[in-house]
Amino acid sequence: MNKKLLFSTLIIFTVALSLSSVNAGLFDFVSSDNVEVKNLEIVSKGYSLYDVNCELTPKNDFSYLEMTVIFYDNDGAVIEKNPIVWNMNDVTKDQLIKVNGNAYITNQKDTPAYAEVFITDSPFNGNPEDALFKENVTM
């Protein structure tokens, strides 16, 4: 009887863990067949300046692509929104692009807990809901 209870608890725990991992992935990462992003990182350069790097491969031709970064504190409050961290015109399908952009935080007293990085195909869009790619990066 004790083994059945232990086995049942283990199965329930495994299923719950699997479902929470799937849900977390759905909310932290939105992708389409439009772009592939690898090795996304945000590196502090000091004085509230951050390098944003990744490898981007478009799956379609685009006349324009743009990256926006929004920094959040531990409470989920927006610290800073950086439009046009990186942009490029006339991007072609399957072209490997090494993205290197710069983002900043105006107030050096603010420390970001995480950042939301998203890529859109229209200038100054700034709306994560229209993103071709969106991912949260823990700082």
Q: What is the pLDDT of residues 74-128, one digit of tens each?
A: 999 999 999 999 999 999 999 999 999 999 999 989 999 999 999 999 998 878 8
**What single-letter amino acid sits at 128?**
P
Report domain extents, the chain: 1-31, 32-138
User: Of 26, 107, 27, 115, which Cα lies nearest the Cα of 67?
Assistant: 115
**What's the CA gap between 124 and 50, in Å, rounded?**
20
Query: E strands along 47-132, which residues?
Result: 49-58, 62-72, 78-91, 97-104, 114-120
CATH number of 32-138: 2.60.40.770
* Helices and strands (H and E) in the chain: how many: 1, 8
Task: Name the percent of the chain lying above pLDDT 90.
Answer: 71
Query: What pLDDT is stored for residue 21 in this prediction?
Result: 33
pLDDT score recorded for residue 25 = 36
pLDDT on residue 65: 97
Determine the pLDDT at residue 124: 84
Flag the least confident range among 3-12, 52-61, 111-120, 130-139: 3-12
Q: CA 126, CA 84: separation in Å to the nearest integer?
A: 9
Please say whether the beta carbons of 126 and 78 come within 8 A. no
Where residue 94 falls (left for φ over 0; alpha for ψ -120 to 50; beta otherwise) is: left
Q: Tell me how far apart the alpha carbons of residues 87 and 111 are, in angstroms, rounded to a whole number.
A: 26
Distances (CA, A) of 115 to 9, 46, 86, 103, 138: 36, 16, 15, 10, 6
Residue 20 has pLDDT above 90, yes or no: no
Q: What is the mean pLDDT of residues 40-69?
A: 96
